[in-house]
Amino acid sequence: MRFVDEYRSGKVARELSHQIEKLLEPGREYKLMEVCGGHTHTIYKHGVENLLPPGVDLIHGPGCPVCVIPMGRVDDAIAIAERDRVIFTTFGDMMRVPGGNGCLLEAKARGADVRMVYSPLDALRIARENPDREVVFFAIGFETTTPSTALTLLRARAEGIRNFFVFANHVTIIPAIRAILDSPDLRLDGFIGPGHVSTVIGTGPYRFIARDHGKPLVVAGFEPLDVLQAAFMVMLQLAEGRCEVENQYSRVVREGGNPRALEAIAETMELRSTFEWRGLGFISQSALKLREEFGDWDAEVRYDIPGVRVADPKACQCGEVLKGVIKPWECKVFGTACTPEKPIGTCMVSSEGACAAYYNYGRFSRRLETLTT
Amino acid sequence: MCLGIPGQIVEVVDLGHHIAKVDVSGVRRNVNIGLLTGDDAVGVGDWVLIHVGFAMSKIDEAEATATREFLERLGDPYEQELAELSASSIE
Ligand code: SF4
């Protein structure tokens, strides 16, 4: 039923919004969490919130990979980057993420050889070109990005490249959702599930949310109408007393995910017993490390990593934002001490972070802009 | 880094290492297509969603067009992604 022209039309949006309105139980407040930072971005940029009837609130979840890296891990990254002979490679998004000891951009200004790369395969190429240096890749991201690191490791091993190391910080989405469901300060009615993560893991891993927690989840694409339609599908389940895992993004997401990607992850990485998330604290089995067989490419084996724990700045309420307990503008430093130019917390750094998305678009979208303009 | 950007495969550069050249809004760069196997295997002319230098899923042309239009409307984040892609050189 998908036609490019019709797809973004305001008519469809208004119709969906009307349909959602008809499903409301009088007096009931609905809270739907969108787990993925990409959805948060879409929601603010296109004013999707304005299209939802009063009583339906979108809560922004923890699915921005840059936002969840704790201060201590950034300091560890800087410690590696400042070693002699090291070329430290990272996605551009991580450059300005604050640690306790500044950010990578500042480390670069102090003289560390920090380079932005588009892909882990670019980092591998840099290793190939600089045999007398040690090239470290700062691997971050949810399941969407993990297979890329996995395939890069397999290629490094196949080619026998010995001066390439991965500093693994890959996190997994399911334990984060579980932590949110277990958190006492939040009542949610349903979830809008991540699109790209689901292309890798499929829809099966979400079943416990419906089965054990009695909440619907609908995997959604990234366009405003995708999000709106997913919200409608969640609301319809609630109205009909169902709770299931449904897939609004079936044009890209398969039920079984991507078996080759899952296989490559399993071959190169395994679960850590625990990992710290910014704002959420330690969550057991929520992140990946390299398997022992890949010790020769593991930055955590190669280097002495300080591993200090740095508490989040006092003023920062990213934890509450990441759990959806408060909205970005409810943080005391939002837009004053904390801005995208000078972020205090990570949610203000990446454009997928709820604070940055709201700072950039939200104030306008709350006023006027709708999907149709 | 979180955007999935649509590109069309214009050349298979290195079959052994699963490297193909894609065209993304006029920018032509190499990406890895090793995650697309079996029914999803891709070749010249196919459209894929690309994430950090890896083709993550095969999509049809209508989906690619719609996604590109959506990203173009996003503005800055897409420009930035294209700039990073332009600086990339995967072998
Ligand atoms: S405004 Fe800044 S400090 Fe407050 S929650 Fe957002 S990112 Fe964190």
Q: Where are the domains of chain A?
A: 71-171+287-302, 318-366
Q: How far is the CA of A305 from the centre of ligand 1 (A)?
A: 28
Region A302-330: what's the mean pLDDT? 85
CB of A31 within 8 A of CB of A249? no
CA distances from A40 to A49, A66, A148 (A): 10, 14, 24
CB of B55 within 8 A of CB of B49? yes
Look over chain A and give the mean of its residue pLDDT values, rounded to a whole number.
89
pTM: 0.90
Minimal CA separation from A121 to chain B, in Å: 6
B-chain CB neighbours of A196 within 8 Å are 2, 4, 49, 51, 56
Q: Provide the pLDDT for residue A365.
A: 44
Q: How far is the CA of A313 from the centre of ligand 1 (A)?
A: 10
CATH, range A71-171+287-302: 3.40.50.11740
**DSSP 8-class letter at A205:** G
A-chain CB neighbours of B20 within 8 Å are none
Q: Do B36 and A147 touch (CB under 8 A)?
A: no
Which chain B residue lies closest to A156 (C-alpha atoms)?
B17
A-chain CB neighbours of B48 within 8 Å are none
A-chain CB neighbours of B3 within 8 Å are 38
A-chain CB neighbours of B54 within 8 Å are 119, 147-148, 151
pLDDT at A54 over 60: yes
CB of A194 within 8 A of CB of A219? yes
Place of tokens 């190499």: B30
What would the two tokens of residue A370 be?
A: 């709708």
Return phi, psi of residue B90, to 5°: -90, 135
Nearest CA to ligand 1 atom 3: A316
- Alpha helix (H) residue ranges in chain A: 4-7, 10-23, 37-45, 48-51, 71-81, 104-109, 120-129, 146-159, 173-182, 195-201, 207-213, 224-239, 259-268, 299-302, 318-322, 354-357, 363-367
Q: How far is the CA of B40 from the centre of ligand 1 (A)?
A: 41
Region A302-322: what's the mean pLDDT? 86
Q: How far is the CA of A41 from the centre of ligand 1 (A)?
A: 16
Q: Do B34 and A92 touch (CB under 8 A)?
A: no
> Which residue of A45, A90, A226, A252 to mutate against B (max B Cβ within 10 Å)?
A252
CA A189 – CA A208 distance, rounded (Å): 15
CB of A59 within 8 A of CB of A32? yes
CA A40 – CA A58 distance, rounded (Å): 9
Q: Provide the pLDDT for residue B54.
A: 96
Question: What are the extents of the domains in chain B?
Answer: 5-87
Q: Do B52 and A148 touch (CB under 8 A)?
A: yes
Of B4, B32, B37, the CB nearest to A121: B32
B5-87 is classed CATH 1.20.1050.10: no
Q: Do A65 and B2 touch (CB under 8 A)?
A: yes
> Which residue of A119, A152, A166 to mutate against B (max B Cβ within 10 Å)?
A119
Give the burial class of A345: count Cβ atoms within 10 A of its Cβ; 0-12 exposed, 13-18 middle, 19 or more buried: buried
Q: Provide the pLDDT for residue A125.
A: 97
Sign of CA dihedral B48, A172, A194, A95: negative
Q: Provide the pLDDT for residue B61.
A: 92
Which tens digits make up the pLDDT trace of A119-133? Answer: 999 999 999 999 999
DSSP B7-18: EEEEEEEETTTT
Of B35, B62, B77, the CB nearest to A151: B35
**pLDDT 10s digit of each residue in chain B, 91 long?**
677 899 999 999 999 999 999 999 999 999 999 999 988 899 999 999 999 999 999 999 988 988 888 888 777 778 888 989 988 899 8
Which tens digits make up the pLDDT trace of A141-160? Answer: 999 999 999 999 999 999 99
Q: Do A4 and B62 touch (CB under 8 A)?
A: yes
Nearest CA to ligand 1 atom 7: A345
Which tens digits make up the pLDDT trace of A262-298? Answer: 999 999 999 999 999 987 889 999 999 999 999 999 9
